[in-house]
Amino acid sequence: MPLIDGCIHPWPAGDSSLRRMALTARELGFDQVVAAGGSGDVPGVLRGTIISAPSVKEVVSALQGIPRGEGVVMVTSGDLAFNRGVIGLRGVRVLRGLFKSPRGAFNHVAAREAEARGVAVELDLAPIVEGRGVQRQKVIARYRELLDLHRRYYFPFTLASNARSVLAQRSVRDIVLLARLFGMEEDEVTGALSSLDTILAGRSPVQVVPG
């Protein structure tokens, strides 16, 4: 299963070109990256689109501008009603930024729906790497809650560096260690890093294997 960094932001949003970030990702143990922005056709890069909108209606109109099946559509999360609405939309692959959403914005109902629709929840590692003090503690606590829901309802996770520079990209080994901070085991990390491959292929994240 290919290991995929869930989101990077190359030049001009960041200080590193898409090619350079793809080279660095390969050095750090990844097979693919999802790039929100950047130009050029680069091997090992999946195109990503981020939709940040205040209402589900505006997400729907933004989705109409994206050809179906093209790249990875990621929507920035909001409150519970917004998140449930977004999870139900065709074409949405990832719900991102849940650490910024209000408490209760992703509950067991949303978790069940995400599992049924094959929508992943992104765990952004940037606030863990760059944050300090209370801000980082809150993010770790939030990810622990999400991990608890994940273990009960099996919705997919993605792990993203959200790097805007090669200096912010981290290796697979580093990500395993960082994910341990909120209690994620190594096999769960591997599963999260390769979940996009399953989602994009349209396979169910949980497969029944005959005994």
Partner 1 sequence: MTQLPSQRERRRYILARFEPEGLSPDPREVYAAVAEACTALWGDAAASEISPSVMAGEGHAIIRCKRGTEDRLATAIATVTRIGAERAALRTITTSGTLHAIRGRMHPKAEILWERKVGIGGRVFLARGFSGQKVDLVEKGIKGQELLFFADEDGEVR
Binding site for partner 1 (CB under 8 A): 11, 15-17, 19-21, 23, 27-28, 40, 128-130, 132-133, 136, 165-171, 173-174, 177-178, 180-181
Contact indicator for 111, 149 with CB cutoff of 8 Å: yes
Please identify, using beta-carbon distances, which residue of 113 and 174 lies nearer to partner 1: 174
Give the residue with the Cβ less far from partner 1, 91 or 131.
131
Q: Report the distance separating Cα 127 and Cα 35, nearest Å.
A: 19
Task: Map tokens 């922005």 to a residue.
Answer: 37
* Cβ proximity to partner 1, 20 vs 100, nearer residue: 20
- State in angstroms the smallest separation of the CB of 125 from partner 1: 9
CB nearer to partner 1: give 107 or 171.
171
CB of 106 to partner 1, least distance (A): 25
Burial letters for 31-48: b for 16+ Cβ neighbours within 10 Å, e otherwise? Answer: bbbbbbbbeeebeebbeb
Smallest distance from the beta carbon of 190 to partner 1, in angstroms? 17
Q: Minimum distance between the CB of residue 178 and partner 1, rounded to whole angstroms?
A: 6
Cβ 125 vs Cβ 161: under 8 Å: yes
Q: Name residue 13's amino acid.
A: A
Smaller CB separation from partner 1, 70 or 130: 130
The four Cα atoms 190, 106, 141, 194 give a dihedral, to 10 degrees, of 10
Smallest gap from Cβ 49 to partner 1, in A, equals 22
